Structure 1
Amino acid sequence: MLRYEVWAPSAAAVGLEVDGRRFDLAVDGGGWWTTDEIVPESGARYGFSVDGSDPLPDPRSPSQPDGVHAASEWVDNTAFAWTDHDWRGVPLAGAVLYELHVGTFTPGGTFDDAIAMLPYLRGLGADAVEVMPVASFPGERGWGYDGVGLFAPHAAYGGPDAMKRFVDACHDHGIGVVLDVVYNHLGPSGNYLGRFGPYFSERHHTNWGPAVNLDGPGSDEVRRFVVDNALMWLRDYHVDGLRLDAVHALVDDSAVHLLEQLADEVAALSSHVRRPLFLVAESDLNDPRFVRSHDAGGFELDASWADEWHHALRSVLTGDTSGYYADFGTLEHLAKALRQAWVYDGIWSEHRGRHHGRPPTGLSGSQFVVCTQNHDQVGNRAVGDRPSRNMSDGRLRIAAALLLTSPFTPMLFQGEEWGTTTPFQYFTDHDDPELGRAVSEGRRNEFSYFGWDPADVPDPQDRSTFERSKLDWSEFDDDIHRSMSDWYRELIGLRRAFPCLSDPRLDRIDVEVDADSRTLTVRRGDIDVLVNLGTGTHRFPTSGRLIAASDPAVVVRDGEAVVPLDAVALVHR
């Protein structure tokens, strides 16, 4: 039976307001308050008052059409007319992911606008889109990592039904959907959870303040809140997988960690819906525990982001060794990343001033998600500049080749595939003037510390920062961008055609480095990937036929491949 209910274990009285009518709620022994006086109806606006407060949004609100501070809207998630009954999911192993931000992926910035681009993504070869967070957050525009209405798709993107239409259309085009979710903190504006119960605890602290209460008094219901949210996206919105933001900040001293509980319940749901559902962790700990099986002492998540792959590649291709790139920059670092994704596997990290990580022994390449760009690695730069602004066309193509011939799960970031010059900058829309000012000043001060002129750092609160970050699809009219897109399509096609290129077994990859000539030879089964980062044309001894090259001057003849500077060749032996 559908009914209004809310958990508020310490409250003396809880009221319900529905479309201007007020009701008193009764409490059970578990701190849940409810009433049978009114049955929820789709579209009803409602809120809960706690100990005489003004009505507050439902902590599990399914929709916030007027913003995170306004009334909740009741949504019957069983009422949508799905058409994806024949969808059998997409396994993570072997997939090519495509990360996008709904608000900047298209000019209109909505789920419905994104649907029009699905034929393009299918033609590119994307198996699944990874959608940045869509849980309701303050204002209209933002990255989504300050969400507060965790059960309510963001109204500016179109709300609940628009998201369902998007997922339904993705499945119709043979594309899976991975949703980025944030459980390690909530945003500072519109976060009313603490008014209802012990959702946060002073026992642990994170970069965002008191940690989510996963192991203290009242934590059983808080954990249920998180797990139920994850299951909702997978069950009610037919999402195929979740990317879990910054799992190292989920502080939990329980005997059964939240991530283990979540993995078990997602596996049970997967059995029920009869299609693969997966969980991907974001963490910079280089700790295999997140993906190891329960029997091996792990949490049994399906994969982990591996940003060190990006760092090792970018530092070599650009020469940038500032900040955390100080731990990278050599061809040997890059070779290690190409072999096992993590560079720091228990070795000394100069940047951290300590040893870092553990070896990924026994893991599969498909359990690592790697990229040449993502929202963090672009957007957390001072001006959000893309690699196309500081890499040559040749080196962009080398990066793509190393990504799409790797044994890992490759992920593209919107527009990367055509070498877009559109920046992806940090943008917000806080309606609290003080908070907005603090965010703007904090951003300027952060990069001033690294020598940037504050005037050159985009203001997150300025709408123009958001507008600049929207993809410019007209770039496709330029031959250079179209040619880059063709290169990505060719590489993805080869990954599909040759099993050795998607083989996730890490003992089946061999990488040779010549530091003097600055060349790399990556052997993937019977295909050699030959990379020249030196000072002139290089001749690689090889036999076989050329199947792809980033430069038309590449030739294979007389037992050698002639590869110009900043070019890559794929040779089938």
Structure 2
Amino acid sequence: MRIGAHYLGDGLCEFTVWAPLQTEVSVQITSPEPRTIPLRAYEAGYWRTIESGIAPNSRYGYLINGQVFPDPASRYQPDGVHEPSAVVDLDFKWSDRDWQGIPLESMIFYELHVGTFTPEGTFAAIIPRLPELKELGINAIELMPLSQVSGDGTEGKNVAYRNWGYDGVYPYSVQNSFGTPQELQQLVNACHQHGIAVVLDVVYNHLGPEGCYHGQFGPYFTEAYRTAWGNAINMDDAHSLGVRRHFIESALYWLREFHIDALRLDAVQAIYDFGAKHFLWELADEVAALSQELQRSLYLIAESDLNDPRLIRPVEQGGYNLNAQWSDDFHHSLHSLLTGERSGYYSDFGTCADLAKAYEHTFVYDWKFSEFRQRCHGVPCDDRPMHQFVVCIQNHDQVGNQPFGQRLGQLISFERVKLGAAAMLLSPYLPLIFMGEEYGETAPFTYFISHGDPDLVQAVREGRKREFREFHVQSDPPDAAAIDTFLQCKLDWSLRDQGNHQILLNWYRQLIQLRQTHPVLRTRDRECIQAIADDDNKTVVVRRWSKSRQQTGELVFAMNFNSEPVTLALPIRGKAAKYLDSAHETWAGPGTQTPSILSPKQTLTLAPSSVVLYEQE
């Protein structure tokens, strides 16, 4: 059954809700004309009715034990998490019939938060920016979670519901401060017209603490497992079938009704399921079936800190058959080299050997002892292709985990920012760029909330302080509930045309174009990469080549993480021509000493904090 309120047209609306432990359920229309409609019980705990005289935007809730609650599968909460749900007409005139999507191995992700990406903070305001993203080379935007979050509604919609999105309560809804469901459809349609795929970040490991009425309808939570957010979602206990369907139908809803191309699954390590068929396996099966039905590629990308390739292995190899997963080890290895940071989880990283291993083997921790965790962590993933892993040098978490939300450009020099960008974009993995990273945005990205419950607000404040103690930060983080904390996070688009910001933008554009067009950089084979670390000189040299008989050349790039010049010889067998040098004056560098043509065994001198790329004949 289609869960929630499904508008059928001509005033007909189908209401379906899962409430397995109830003996009586009614839908109560609160506006425009109040009335109460009994629902009929069906098998497996579902209640349903089809009613006439229901117009789009009608407000409703479910009457259970004398109280009215919003729909757990609400499509839209125009007045916030505590108020009635709205009937939504999703009939939309799509113009993307010929859209075939972007192959996973070619994706370049651009993560953005709708509320801070533009001054307006809306879906509609993103559309005029799409040509600039396309021109940069972006072919997939990743939207941070959209589910309705709590707020008191007194400060104007654009700030009353400020939140990162991971406190969402309704996994089918669209946050009202961003726009309507129809405006999200318009955004996706416009993205496809520009050749840009859309990835949606969804949270199926917990529900927000404020405005969550799911427990009134059924056993959505279990006391068998605890997460950082409280009792776990009930994926394997009694009555879990209805809970699993609730979240699987949510995923299919976004893919089918909004033409979303891929879902990023938040923190899957917190989805506890010890049944024979894990929820993620079942979800992958359902999405694969929908992909075949729609005749277009749909992808599931997991965020996980487990370093476990089971997520992306085929079912016949004991896996869940997801399409890709994040790899934090690449980020942590690179970040610690660029910044010198060694607190918190960065204490496990800091050597060039770590980064070299991340290039070749993806996971640095592959059943290796972790000092931070005080246990062995991860397993090898060399059996999985490199295009199944997403890497970054910045994202919402890594920037937000800084004491004051500082971006990389506020932590390191301009030369090292260029070095980090090249390290990521020249890698064989799928790169993710965090909004504004490409031009060195200076606005912070700190954690912000707008909860209406003062006790919850205080709990968040105290929790943030505890988190920062792990990184040995003595001062308090910015107040997550303050409006200014949110407003300061909005991007300043004017920077793109100024000084080093424009130079950095051109650097990203050049690297992305090279990545998309050069045959060697389009290769994702594990046997076609070699990384050589020299921790004494703080250098990493990476060789990449192609197995194709038509492409016999090699690319070699050398990265100097030292604050001093370093002299070395590249592992080339024939003459090599220089492609890029971040120290060149073109890129506002200090000046290059590397030769245009390099011969075997010839040494070159790398400028401090620089990268040079050569192509060997």
Query: Which residue of 198, 214, 235 corresponds with 1:193?
Result: 214
Distance 1:442 1:245 in 2: 20
Amino acid at match of 1:566: S
Q: Which residue of 1 aligns with 2:25?
A: 14
Distance 2:143 2:450 in 1: 20
Query: Which residue of 5, 30, 35 corresponds with 2:16?
Result: 5
Distance 2:521 2:470 in 1: 43
In the alignment, does 2:77 pair up with 1:64? yes
Shift of 1:36: 4.0
1:136-169 Cα deviation digits (max 9, x unpaired): 1112110000110111111100020111111111
Matches within 5 A, 1:155-304: 155-304=176-325
Contact map agreement 1:378 1:425 (CA 8 A) in 2:
yes
SS of structure 2 residue aligned to 1:548 = strand
Matches within 5 A, 1:107-146: 107-139=119-151, 140-146=161-167
Matches within 5 A, 1:308-347: 308-347=329-368
Distance 1:317 1:480 in 2: 19
Q: Which residue of 1 aligns with 2:455?
A: 434
Contact map agreement 2:76 2:176 (CA 8 A) in 1:
yes
TM-score of the aligned structures, taking structure 2 as reference length: 0.90
Amino acid at match of 2:284: A
Q: Which residue of 2 aligns with 1:547?
A: 579
Query: Which residue of 477, 482, 500 corresponds with 1:462?
Result: 482
Aligned residue pairs: how many? Answer: 570
Shift of 1:324: 0.6
Query: Which residue of 560, 566, 570 corresponds with 2:609?
Result: 566
1:368-400 Cα deviation digits (max 9, x unpaired): 000000101111222111110111111111111
SS of structure 2 residue aligned to 1:3 = strand
TM-score of the aligned structures, taking structure 1 as reference length: 0.97
Amino acid at match of 2:15: Y
Shift of 1:515: 2.3
Query: Which residue of 164, 169, 193 corresponds with 1:148?
Result: 169
Contact map agreement 2:565 2:605 (CA 8 A) in 1:
no
SS of structure 1 residue aligned to 2:520 = helix
SS of structure 2 residue aligned to 1:145 = coil
In the alignment, does 2:562 pair up with 1:519? no
In the alignment, does 2:560 pair up with 1:532? yes
Distance 1:196 1:81 in 2: 35
Sort the Cα spacing of 1:533 and 1:451 in 2 relative to 1 into closer, same or farther, 3 A: closer
Contact map agreement 1:183 1:245 (CA 8 A) in 2:
yes
Moved more, 489-498 or 15-24: 15-24
Shift of 1:453: 4.2
Sort the Cα spacing of 1:445 and 1:254 in 2 relative to 1 into closer, same or farther, 3 A: closer
Distance 2:88 2:375 in 1: 50
1:226-275 Cα deviation digits (max 9, x unpaired): 11000000010000000001111111121111111110110111111111
Sort the Cα spacing of 1:537 and 1:30 in 2 relative to 1 into closer, same or farther, 3 A: closer
Query: Which residue of 58, 64, 77 corresponds with 1:44?
Result: 58
Sort the Cα spacing of 1:35 and 1:517 in 2 relative to 1 into closer, same or farther, 3 A: closer
Distance 1:316 1:366 in 2: 24
In the alignment, does 2:93 pair up with 1:81? yes
Sort the Cα spacing of 1:437 and 1:6 in 2 relative to 1 into closer, same or farther, 3 A: same
Amino acid at match of 2:65: D
Contact map agreement 1:423 1:468 (CA 8 A) in 2:
yes
Amino acid at match of 1:266: V
Distance 1:384 1:275 in 2: 38
Distance 1:506 1:558 in 2: 26
Contact map agreement 1:179 1:241 (CA 8 A) in 2:
yes
1:180-225 Cα deviation digits (max 9, x unpaired): 0000000000101000011111122212111111111111111111
Amino acid at match of 2:611: V
Shift of 1:445: 4.2
Matches within 5 A, 1:90-109: 90-109=102-121
Sort the Cα spacing of 1:347 and 1:442 in 2 relative to 1 into closer, same or farther, 3 A: closer
In the alignment, does 2:32 pair up with 1:32? no
Contact map agreement 1:97 1:410 (CA 8 A) in 2:
yes
Sort the Cα spacing of 1:416 and 1:259 in 2 relative to 1 into closer, same or farther, 3 A: same
In the alignment, does 2:518 pair up with 1:498? yes
Shift of 1:334: 1.1
Distance 2:125 2:63 in 1: 37
Amino acid at match of 1:531: M
Shift of 1:348: 1.1
Distance 1:193 1:136 in 2: 14
Distance 1:532 1:201 in 2: 51
Distance 2:537 2:273 in 1: 49
Q: Once superposed, what is the RMSD of the aligned Cα atoms?
A: 1.5
Contact map agreement 2:331 2:392 (CA 8 A) in 1:
yes
Amino acid at match of 2:558: L
Q: Which residue of 2 aligns with 1:23?
A: 37
Amino acid at match of 1:482: Q
Distance 1:446 1:361 in 2: 33
1:330-356 Cα deviation digits (max 9, x unpaired): 111111011122100111111111111
Distance 2:193 2:613 in 1: 34
Distance 2:598 2:219 in 1: 72
Contact map agreement 1:405 1:502 (CA 8 A) in 2:
no
Amino acid at match of 2:47: W
Matches within 5 A, 1:396-435: 396-435=417-456
Contact map agreement 1:538 1:564 (CA 8 A) in 2:
no
1:53-107 Cα deviation digits (max 9, x unpaired): 1x21111111111111111111122x11111111111121121111111011111
Amino acid at match of 2:301: V
Distance 1:71 1:439 in 2: 27
Distance 1:490 1:437 in 2: 46
Shift of 1:451: 4.5
Amino acid at match of 2:567: H
Q: Which residue of 1 aligns with 2:504?
A: 484
What is the aligned-residue identity percentage?
A: 45
Shift of 1:438: 2.0
Q: Which residue of 2 aligns with 1:357?
A: 378
